C-alpha cells in the first residue's frame, strides 16, 4: 500500500481569461467558467474518500478545494482542508500582475520556456527553488497521511508541472512539455522505490478506481494518463 496524491489545478480565473500572470496577487478569483470547472471536478472526485485536502493558500485554490470538500459531504464526512504555502504559486516577483503578451517580449521569457532551471524571477524565487519546496511538501504530506492514504493537493499549473516532472524523473528544463489545464487532475502513486504517474492533465476519465485504495504494481493500462480531452 502506498500514498496516492491527486493533484488538482484550480479552475479558470479572471486573470487566466485576461492573460495576466497572477502569481501571489490577492483577490484573483474563479470566474464563471472556473466555478463550473470546479463543480465538475468536485463531482468527479466525489467517489473518492480523501484522507485530507491540501491547498495553496491563494483564493482561487481555496475556492476549488472547498468545492471538492463540499462534494464529499453528501456521502461521507468532509475531509479536513489544510493550507500550505509550500504548494503555493511560484513567486514571480516583478512579473506578478503583468500581461503575458508583454512578458513574452522580455529576454527572460525564452529562458523560462527553454531552460527554466536557470531562471530566478526578478524580485522573486527561482524555478528550481519552487520545485524543491513543492516536492518536499508532497513527501512531507505523504508521511503525514500515511501509506494507505489517498489525498488531494490543489495547486497551480507551474507547481503541478514541477511535481510531475520530478515524479517522472524528468529534468526541470523539460517541464514545459507537460500540460496542466485548469481543473485538470493528475495522480501519482509514491512507492518505496519510485513514483508512478497514473494520470496527467486528466479532464474527463472515470476516477472510480480511486474509491478503492490503489495498490503497488498496477497493470500498465491502469497507468496510462487519462486522455479524455485537453481543452
pLDDT in tens, 145-191: 999 899 999 999 999 999 999 999 999 999 999 999 999 999 999 99
Find out whether 164 and 7 touch, Cβ atoms under 8 Å: yes
Q: Which residues of 104-140 are buried (b: 16+ CB within 10 A; e: fewer)?
A: eeeeeeebbeeebeebebeebbbbeebbbbbbebbee
All cell numbers assigned to 193: 522505490
All cell numbers assigned to 154: 490543489
Length of the chain (residues): 231
- Report d(CA 191, CA 111) in Å as an integer: 33
List the domains of the chain with CATH numbers: 4-18+30-91+126-219 (3.40.50.1240)
- Report d(CA 182, CA 160) in Å as an integer: 11
Cα 66 to Cα 9, 53, 70, 138, distances in angstroms: 13, 9, 6, 20
Neighbours of 166 (CB within 10 A): 20
Please report which residue ranges of the chain form alpha helices under DSSP H: 14-18, 32-45, 59-73, 100-103, 107-114, 127-145, 157-168
Confidence bin at 224 (pLDDT 50/70/90) = very low
- What is the pLDDT at residue 139? 97
pLDDT in tens, 41-59: 999 999 999 999 999 999 9
pLDDT in tens, 106-146: 999 999 999 999 999 999 999 999 999 999 999 999 999 99
Confidence bin at 230 (pLDDT 50/70/90) = very low
For residue 54, what are the β-bridge partners? 82, 153
Sign of torsion, CA 18 100 201 137?
negative
pTM of the model: 0.91
Amino acid at each position: 500500500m502506498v500514498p496516492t496524491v491527486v493533484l488538482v489545478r484550480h479552475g479558470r480565473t479572471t486573470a487566466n481569461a485576461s492573460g495576466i500572470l497572477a502569481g501571489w496577487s490577492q483577490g484573483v478569483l474563479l470566474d464563471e467558467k472556473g466555478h463550473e470547472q470546479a463543480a465538475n471536478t468536485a463531482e468527479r472526485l466525489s467517489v473518492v474518500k480523501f484522507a485530507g485536502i491540501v491547498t495553496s493558500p491563494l483564493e482561487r485554490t481555496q475556492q476549488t478545494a472547498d468545492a471538492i470538500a463540499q462534494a464529499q459531504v453528501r456521502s461521507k464526512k468532509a475531509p479536513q482542508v489544510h493550507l500550505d504555502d509550500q504548494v503555493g504559486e511560484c513567486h514571480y516577483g516583478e512579473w506578478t500582475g503583468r500581461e503575458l503578451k508583454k512578458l513574452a517580449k522580455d529576454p527572460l521569457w525564452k529562458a523560462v520556456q527553454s531552460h527554466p532551471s536557470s531562471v530566478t524571477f526578478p524580485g522573486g524565487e527561482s524555478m528550481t527553488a519552487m520545485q524543491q519546496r513543492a516536492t518536499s511538501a508532497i513527501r512531507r504530506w505523504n508521511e503525514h497521511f500515511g501509506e494507505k492514504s489517498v489525498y488531494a493537493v490543489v495547486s497551480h499549473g507551474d507547481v503541478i508541472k514541477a511535481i510531475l516532472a520530478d515524479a517522472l524523473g524528468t529534468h526541470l528544463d523539460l517541464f514545459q512539455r507537460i500540460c496542466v489545464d485548469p481543473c485538470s487532475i493528475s495522480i501519482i502513486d509514491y512507492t518505496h522505490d519510485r513514483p508512478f504517474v497514473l494520470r496527467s492533465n486528466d479532464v474527463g476519465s472515470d476516477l472510480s478506481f480511486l474509491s478503492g485504495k490503489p495498490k503497488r504494481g498496477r497493470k500498465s493500462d491502469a497507468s496510462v494518463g487519462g486522455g479524455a480531452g485537453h481543452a
